[in-house]
Every structure is written in structure tokens, then in C-alpha cells.
Amino acid sequence: MKLLKCRVAVILFPLLCHSYSPAIASNDLGCVDTTFRLMGRNDQVCISAFDDPQVPGVACHISQARSGGLGGSLGLAEDPSRFSIACRQVGPITVNIGALGDKEKVYSDHTSIFFKHTQVFRVIDRTRNTLIYLAVSDKLIDGSPQNAISSVPVMPWGSER
């Protein structure tokens, strides 16, 4: 009987760990499993959405790799610095982009328990009337060369044409 309980525990423990996943933040749209993990949740790529806080009419979507396993399930794993970003004009842009700063942080997300973030900066190309969104990963110790960009040309919207 004791051996049967041990076998049941060995079978159920990975299933229980695998089914646990941390709460999805309000800006998370969903995740896709990429690597099966026997213990803990699977590795995933998750998509989040955010609006530029100073430029109404611009929305961005960022996909990020998230580590699974027991460390990922407990929130202790360091996520890899792999991501992609796409920003688009989704409504009229009424803000004067000439009044915006040359480089401003518009988004930040923790990617490890210790000092690592994915950050998105808005950079302005005034010559081309374009907003450029640069996603980078930072790490307190040595940084990361991983980056991605998306450009949003400021265009007339709807009846403004």
C-alpha cells in the first residue's frame, strides 16, 4: 500500500506542478507553450498589449519568451532575453510629437526575480514624422544586446484625410 501511494504521488506531482501557472497580468493576451516540461509549467511565448501612455492612438504588442520548469512555476527563473514588438496607429494621434521628449520609457516588465526587465522606449524620428519603439532587455550586471524595433508613421486618421 505504501508503494502504491508513492507511485501515485510520483505521477500526480508533475501533473499538479504543470497545471499551476501564475496569474495572467491584465495586459497579457495569452501564451503559447513552446517546450514541454515534465516538472512545472512549460516554456512559453506570451503576448502582452500596451498603449503608449503619452500618445493616444498608438498600441503595441510585445511577445516574450518565459521560462517554465519548477523555477518558472515559482517565479524564480530568469526569462530569456527574446522578444518581438509590433506597434501600430489604432486611432487619431492628436498629440504634438514635437513636444515629446527624444527618448522616453513607455513600458517595463520584470523578466526575472533579480533586476532584469524588458523595457520599451519611444524614440522620435522628427524628419520622417515617425514614432519608433525600441524594446531592450536590461540586466544589472552586464546588460543584453537583445533588441527589437517597430515604427509608427504618424498619419491622418478617419475623416482627417
Report the mean per-residue pLDDT for the chain.
75
β 116-125/103-110 pair status: antiparallel
Sign of the torsion formed by the C-alpha atoms of 54, 151, 139 and 49: positive
Whether residue 3 has pLDDT greater than 70? no
Confidence bin at 55 (pLDDT 50/70/90): very high
Confirm if 68 and 40 have CB atoms less than 8 A apart.
yes
pLDDT value at residue 65: 80
The three-class DSSP label of residue 77 is coil
More confident residue, 118 or 58: 58
Using CA atoms, how far residue 37 sits from 15, 18, 31, 40, 86, in Å, is: 10, 8, 15, 6, 29
Sign of the torsion formed by the C-alpha atoms of 99, 102, 108 and 113: negative
Tally of CA atoms within 13 A in the half-sphere of 133 that contains its CB: 26
pLDDT value at residue 6: 45
- Helices and strands, counts by H and E, the chain: 2, 8
Q: Which residues contact 154 (CB under 8 A, 6 or more apart)?
A: 89, 93, 97, 129, 130, 131
Whether residue 116 has pLDDT greater than 70? no
pTM recorded for the entire structure = 0.69
